[in-house]
Amino acid sequence: MPNWILGDKFSSVYPHKGSIENLWETRWKFACQKGVYPFHDGSYEDFEPIFQKLILENINDAYTDEYTSTFLPFASELESNASKALDAGETENAIDLFRRAAVVYRISRFPYVDITQPDSTKRTAFERQKQVYLESASRWDPPIEEVTIPHTHRIGNDGPDIPIYIRMPSNATPDSPVPVIFLMTGLDGYRPDNSQRTHEITARGWAAVIAEIPGTADSPADPADPDAPDRLWNSIFAYIASNPSLDINQVVLWGLSAGGFYAIRAAHTHGSLLRGAIAHGAGSHYFLDQEWLSRVDDHEYPFRITPGWAKKYGYDNIQQFTQEARKKFSLVETGIVDRPSCRLLLLNGVNDGITPIEDSLILFNHGSPKEGRFFEGLPHMGYPDSLPIAYKWLEELLHAGPREKN
């Protein structure tokens, strides 16, 4: 076992754990006021009464229907007001209200939408979130579009279709195809939760393609099959290659949190198709260690994370997940990271209590040389300092010119 760089915090119970009041007052209220994770594009005025109700009713577990149901009337009211504004010809106001409603739905279905429960309250909230989000985002300039593509490489328990979001800059044409930033989402952040990244990406003249990772949201990949993501990306790369406005020779992955695991994997399994990859807040090996998993629910994640994590990897039983997942999925134990890879940038906070910084450091001892930037004193993802580094790296990579065509 490593001597965890997290130090004494590894065995600490963070003060917000188990208390919605402490979470709101010490962490989420500030995040909501600043419009940062997980409240991107949200409004403090929308959330203050919701959390006061949760506190009053002593609802502390986000996995419950009671938690999710508390948000739904507030989101529905915003949605209704947005529709009225649209009918009145107040398009910009409607766009804003639909966006705000989508963020309320987003927090209501936090932290995980169980793919095995299609009739759950959280699934209902997620379906509403997607609808109102596209009511807003489809009216942006440039718009976000949902595209459903066939999972042409599916086998076994994989589903038949892959829903993705795509946002094309105005300069994208068949005569002048643009680079693609392929966003791989996380455990709790899905396709409608990446507006700010798509703003930044399209402003630079690149296209954004967003897909959900196995075991989450609408992903058709078999969560229990370690090779399922490889087939998923094959189908998505086939779609990118078929779109004449997208440059298949200039594709860069950006894996977010749990998606960072898949960015690392794809950098090694699909490296010949990529200009590069960013693994942001990524796990690779130790995040599935039994000792780490025994304490991760006590750390910075807003609620318990192991119930969602176990489901995401195809386990109904947390104990079984804890005992078996590392051997089955670790990118180190399975030898994935000993293969050659494309350029791979690792970003994280040194004080990450969700995916240990050791999971980035261990990669420097395997396979191709890696690049990394880690932020002292910052938690999971290394926000806000990591974002400027990511964009600068992408700019330098893509401005260097396209890689040679296959």
Please indicate whether residue 257 is annotated as part of the active site: yes
Q: Which two tokens stand for residue 197?
A: 């990244």
Outline where 155-269 has alpha helix (H): 195-203, 228-242, 258-269
Does residue 380 contact residue 260 with C-beta atoms inside 8 Å?
no
Which one from 222, 235, 380, 386 is the annotated catalytic residue? 380
Looking at residue 382, what DSSP letter applies?
G
Outline where 88-183 has alpha helix (H): 91-108, 121-137
The set of residues, in sequence order, having a beta carbon less than 8 Å from that of 365 and lying 6+ positions away, is: none
The set of residues, in sequence order, having a beta carbon less than 8 Å from that of 292 and lying 6+ positions away, is: 4, 286, 356
The set of residues, in sequence order, having a beta carbon less than 8 Å from that of 384 and lying 6+ positions away, is: 36
Q: Which two tokens stand for residue 128?
A: 């509403």
The set of residues, in sequence order, having a beta carbon less than 8 Å from that of 327 and lying 6+ positions away, is: 333
**Which residue shows structure tokens 């450091």?**
361
Checking 22-27 for CB contacts under 8 A at 24+ apart, the result is 23/302, 24/51, 24/54, 24/55, 27/302
Cα separation values, 333 from 214, 258, 288, 289, 352, Å? 20, 18, 11, 12, 22
Please indicate whether residue 225 is annotated as part of the active site: no
Which one from 219, 257, 284, 360 is the annotated catalytic residue? 257
d(CA 195, CA 397): 22
**Which residue shows structure tokens 């994935």?**
336
Beta-strand pair 161-167/207-211: antiparallel
Which one from 158, 188, 289, 352 is the annotated catalytic residue? 352
d(CA 176, CA 199): 20
Does residue 211 contact residue 170 with C-beta atoms inside 8 Å?
no
**Phi, psi dihedrals of residue 162, rounded to the nearest 5°:** -125, 110
Please indicate whether residue 16 is annotated as part of the active site: no
**Phi, psi dihedrals of residue 117, rounded to the nearest 5°:** -125, 80
Residues annotated as part of the active site: 257, 352, 380
